[in-house]
């Protein structure tokens, strides 16, 4: 992808020795601040804390690690600083749940304690071995040069229903080291393993060779002695591949597949988190098991302009197969967009996005994501708006709900596309286009959508909106979540996130949108989850009962709110 001109890339040392994005001098992501790693706030600020997105009661979190469902319990591990609200002192925190929404924290599962992870325990995955139980694979740091190795941990007592304690046996650890020709300081984040009929387990490890992102493949018969394949399963000129994920999806239906599933009725997904852009990209393609090669479809661009899970603040994601409901579930981390000083004052930093079900779209060209159905259990008071026409300049309040903590589903329709603006073929970067044509810029069909976390007089608002353009052979649909007007506070990272939506408007003449609004996060799903954007925002006026929600239209073509349902959301029980 081509980065917006308003973004500058600069190198920083981060949790994965990463590159961060800067906007007007404000940190979009994180650096290391040794003198602040153990600074704990006297009290925790609740002003922008989320009500139903996962976050622990205090302190810093980042990557979701090793999610799994085992013996009736969901487990989520995550990178966590137990001593402060900036990155540092990282351990694998551990929370459990029966429903993916309400969570109870247990003691940390993994923390630096052995020579093979003395300098850090970084991200990884969980694999459930048939008849034996779960094993965690993670990246350990063995020295001050950041040499990275792959390690394993297992439950101390497999009969414990909550798997409270984990041990790291000395035998076989570390199980994978960077061999000849592998960059040992860029070698991390092992995937969930899959089993093949040839009697081998397989995993991928993310890496970099010069400017190429690499997914190295390793095989093992016993899960402890691993051998690297002669060639990576795939690579591309993108920069470092972090947090790779590799899994099958069914060609038909919404059911998920076990990670070991292969066959003629599946495609495979290869996802990587790109160190250079701090966005995630995936391709759909074919896995040739006999050659251990993955080849993306010709409809999946293999680079910075490729498909993304989310076009906003969403990174280091990890999926798992949930056998209790035959679905694949995706977790992703959303960092703060304020400053380190703000994080220290409020006493916390980082959330996890709402867990999402993932399946293949009927076109076969992309994935679809949708909040897990359990989230609906938090819905309380419902309000409706049906067949309400929005003329140019209208903004109508959706009243009767807690607008700072809400779930909104809306379908927009229009009678004609004749007024759609002409699409310029040079507009290949959705984020740039959103910056150029924001919610206040009058168009033909659009902009129209929601004004979330809005103050009464619109001094602050976060618009989530569609805009439609006419290309020679189709209509182009843009979905934006624009944080530039989200807060009166100036020293914030407030980007105009955006993505294009693959939809045949001639056939439907409708567009749907769902937005999960939760105090400092607006997580939106366009057209049933085809294009998704998570934004972090920090309003100063539009907080708690002072927050408002509007539907709006700033295009010349009238838009109809065909059907809108909005709910106040209860807070999840997260302790």
Which residues are the active-site residues?
Answer: 63
Q: How far is CA 229 from CA 195, 262, 402, 434, 482, in A?
A: 15, 19, 54, 43, 44
Nearest to 496 by CA among 414, 434, 571: 434
User: Maximum Cα–Cα distance for the chain, whole Å?
Assistant: 70
CA-nearest of 279, 270, 175, 271 to 218 is: 175
Report the distance separating Cα 222 and Cα 247, nearest Å.
21
Q: How far apart are CA 351 and CA 85, in angstroms?
A: 12
Cα–Cα distance measured from residue 29 to residue 22, given in angstroms and rounded to the nearest whole number = 8
- 190's enclosing H/E stretch is none
Three-state SS for 19?
Answer: strand
Cross-strand bridge partners of residue 454: 548
The CA distance from 387 to 328, in Å, is 35
Rounded to the nearest 5 percent, the helix, strand and coil shares of the chain are: 5, 45, 45
Number of other residues whose CB lies within 10 A of the CB of residue 211: 11
205: Cα within 13 Å, side-chain hemisphere: 32
**In 210-278, which ranges are E strands?**
212-220, 227-228, 234-236, 241-250, 266-274
Q: Is 416 exposed, middle or buried (0-12, 13-18, 19+ CB in 10 A)?
A: exposed
Q: Please enumerate in sequence order all residues whose Cβ is within 8 A of that of 210, keeping only pairs 6 or more positions apart, or say none.
A: none
> Cis link prior to 447 (omega < 30° from 0)?
yes
């Amino acid at each position: 992808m081509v980065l917006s001109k308003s973004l500058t890339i600069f190198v920083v040392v981060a949790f994965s020795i990463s590159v961060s994005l800067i906007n007007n001098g404000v940190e979009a992501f994180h650096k290391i601040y040794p003198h602040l790693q153990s600074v704990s706030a006297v009290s925790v600020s609740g002003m922008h804390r989320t009500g139903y997105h996962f976050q622990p009661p205090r302190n810093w979190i980042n990557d979701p690690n090793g999610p799994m469902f085992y013996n009736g319990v969901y487990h989520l591990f995550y990178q966590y600083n137990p001593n402060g609200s900036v990155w540092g002192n990282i351990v694998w925190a551990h929370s459990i749940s029966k429903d993916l929404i309400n969570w109870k924290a247990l003691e940390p599962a993994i923390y630096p304690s052995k020579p093979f992870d003395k300098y850090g325990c970084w991200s990884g995955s969980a694999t459930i071995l048939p008849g034996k139980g779960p094993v965690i694979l993670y990246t350990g740091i063995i020295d001050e040069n950041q040499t990275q190795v792959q390690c394993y941990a297992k439950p101390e007592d497999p009969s414990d229903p909550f798997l409270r304690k984990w041990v790291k046996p000395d035998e076989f650890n570390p199980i994978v080291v960077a061999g000849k020709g592998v960059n040992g300081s860029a070698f991390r984040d092992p995937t969930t393993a899959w089993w093949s009929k040839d009697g081998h387990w397989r995993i991928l490890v993310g890496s970099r060779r010069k400017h190429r992102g690499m997914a190295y493949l390793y095989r093992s018969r016993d899960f402890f002695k691993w051998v690297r394949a002669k060639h990576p399963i795939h690579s591309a000129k993108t920069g470092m591949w972090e947090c790779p994920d590799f899994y099958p999806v069914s060609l038909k239906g919404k059911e998920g597949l076990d990670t070991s599933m292969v066959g003629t009725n599946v495609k495979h997904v290869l996802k990587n988190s790109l160190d250079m852009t701090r966005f995630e990209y995936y391709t759909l393609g074919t896995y040739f098991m006999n050659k251990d090669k993955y080849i993306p479809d010709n409809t999946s661009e293999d680079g910075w302009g490729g498909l993304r899970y989310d076009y906003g603040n969403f990174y280091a994601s990890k999926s798992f197969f949930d056998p209790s409901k035959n679905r694949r579930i995706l977790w992703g981390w959303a960092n703060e967009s304020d400053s380190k000083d703000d994080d220290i004052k409020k006493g916390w930093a980082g959330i996890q996005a709402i867990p999402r079900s993932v399946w293949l779209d009927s076109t076969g060209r992309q994935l679809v994501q949708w909040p897990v159905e359990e989230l609906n259990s938090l819905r309380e008071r419902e309000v409706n708006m049906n067949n309400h026409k929005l003329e140019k300049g209208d903004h109508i309040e959706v009243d009767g709900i807690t607008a700072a903590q809400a779930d909104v589903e809306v379908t927009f329709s229009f009678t004609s596309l004749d007024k759609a603006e002409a699409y310029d073929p040079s507009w290949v970067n959705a984020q740039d286009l959103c910056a150029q044509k924001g919610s206040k810029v009058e168009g033909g069909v659009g902009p129209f959508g929601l004004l979330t976390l809005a103050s009464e007089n619109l001094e602050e608002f976060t618009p989530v909106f569609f805009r439609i353009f006419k290309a020679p052979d189709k209509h182009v649909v843009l979905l934006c979540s624009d944080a530039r007007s989200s807060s009166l506070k100036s020293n914030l990272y407030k980007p105009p996130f955006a993505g294009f939506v693959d939809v045949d408007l001639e056939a439907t003449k409708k567009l749907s949108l769902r937005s999960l609004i939760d105090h400092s996060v607006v997580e939106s799903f366009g057209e049933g989850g085809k294009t998704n954007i998570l934004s972090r925002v920090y309003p100063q006026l539009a907080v708690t009962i002072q927050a408002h929600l509007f539907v709006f239209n700033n295009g010349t073509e009238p838009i109809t709110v065909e059907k809108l349902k909005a709910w106040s959301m209860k807070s999840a029980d997260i302790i």
